[in-house]
Amino acid sequence: MSPTRLGQNQYGKAETRVVHVTREGRTHHVRDLNVSVALSGAMDEVHYSGSNANVLPTDTTKNTVFAFAKQYGIDSAEQFGIRLARHFVTSQDAIERARIRIEEYAWDRITDEHSFVRGGRETRTAEVAYDGTHWQVVSGLKDLVVMNSTDSEFWGFVKDPYTTLPETRDRVLATEVAARWRFGWTREEDPAPRWEESYAEVRRHLLEAFAGTYSLSLQQTLYAMGERVVEHRPEIDEVRLSLPNKHHFLVDLEPFGLVNDTPDSAVYFAADRPYGLIEGTVLREGAEPRIPVTD
């Protein structure tokens, strides 16, 4: 008898870039997605003996992404992921679970017709999992860079022999928001959320909470952002946030005979690393955490 056994496993095609252009005469609409498919189920034999009898080729999953974009269009990242996950689980007996991860890239119009420029916005994300009975949909965004040039303090923290950071009653607070939020919707027979509306509203609440919180710590700001989403969006049970602290340090200008940080202006050095990384989850009361801390 072998001293080993197979554990959790999955396979699929990662990062299929699909750009769908909808044409309404000379007016075009673009959806630009990066789709990753992961499938799992009765896959023991392909690992133990190399038998591919239950294996749907990853090339087929790639082709399915393109074909479904053409056949059904892309109403939203979430709905497209749901359609793909349902197809893989219900069309193949050996596949018991499908996970679809999607990043969406924004394009802004140059003209009213068919010229676009890549938006300098965040990247939208979506992850859909389906086991044949229940759904789990986790939407999100990343690379959303925000900054408050004031209304942030940091003081009263623990000090030990290695502490050199001075306390401050006024600082720049900047971060690059990565957020994921899990929907309470899990059953096909229940009405699904309005994905596009939900994304826009969650993004709005994240930004408004960041801007509207007088911050004594980035942790406080993180909780305020997640709390606002859960309180205002009943379809969402869990929000996980990762907020790197994009440190801005006042530049010492005294060698040049200049006084920095005057009432009318200040000059900062924006350091990219190392950086503080603040992460946390905000849950609806009674909900269990299900978004993984790491992939």
Q: What is the identity of the amino acid at 172? A: V
Q: What is the pLDDT of residues 208-241, one digit of tens each?
A: 999 999 999 999 999 999 999 999 999 999 999 9
Segments making up each domain of the chain, as ranges? 9-133, 140-295
Tokens of 213: 């919180």
pLDDT above 70: residue 27: yes
Average pLDDT of the segment spanning 246-263: 87
pLDDT of residue 87: 96
Q: What is the mean pLDDT of the chain?
A: 92
DSSP state of 55: P
pLDDT above 70: residue 294: no
Residue 82, by phi and psi: left (phi above 0), alpha (psi -120 to 50) or beta? alpha
Q: Which fold has domain 140-295?
A: Urate Oxidase (3.10.270)
Q: What is the pLDDT of residues 107-160, one digit of tens each?
A: 888 878 887 877 778 999 999 999 999 999 999 999 999 999 899 999 999 998
The model's pTM is 0.86
pLDDT band (50, 70, 90) for residue 295: low
| Catalytic (active-site) positions | 13, 58, 247
Tokens of 89: 């689980």
List the Cα angle 102/184/33 in 5-degree steps.
Answer: 10
- Residues 124, 199: contact at Cβ < 8 Å? yes
Residue 198: which of 29, 22, 34, 78 has the closest Cα?
Answer: 78
Residue 121: which of 147, 148, 149, 142 has the closest Cα?
Answer: 142
Average pLDDT of the segment spanning 263-273: 84
Looking up tokens 């082709």 gives: 63
Q: What is the pLDDT of residues 181-207, one digit of tens each?
A: 999 999 999 999 999 999 999 999 999
pLDDT above 70: residue 104: yes
Looking up tokens 């959303």 gives: 144
pLDDT of residue 121: 82
Looking up tokens 């979430």 gives: 78
pLDDT of residue 3: 92
Residues 6+ apart with CB under 8 A from 204: none
Measured CA to CA, the distance from residue 192 to residue 190 in angstroms comes to 6
Pairing of strands 236-245, 173-183: antiparallel
Bigger pLDDT: 139 vs 33: 139
pLDDT of residue 274: 86
pLDDT above 80: residue 289: yes
Residues 6+ apart with CB under 8 A from 275: 244, 245, 246, 247
The domains spanning 9-133 and 140-295 adopt the same CATH topology:
yes
Q: What is the pLDDT of residues 41-94, one digit of tens each?
A: 999 999 998 999 999 999 999 999 999 999 999 999 999 999 999 999 999 999
List the Cα angle 207/142/75 in 5-degree steps.
Answer: 90
CATH superfamily, region 9-133: Urate Oxidase; (3.10.270.10)
- Residues 47, 6: contact at Cβ < 8 Å? yes
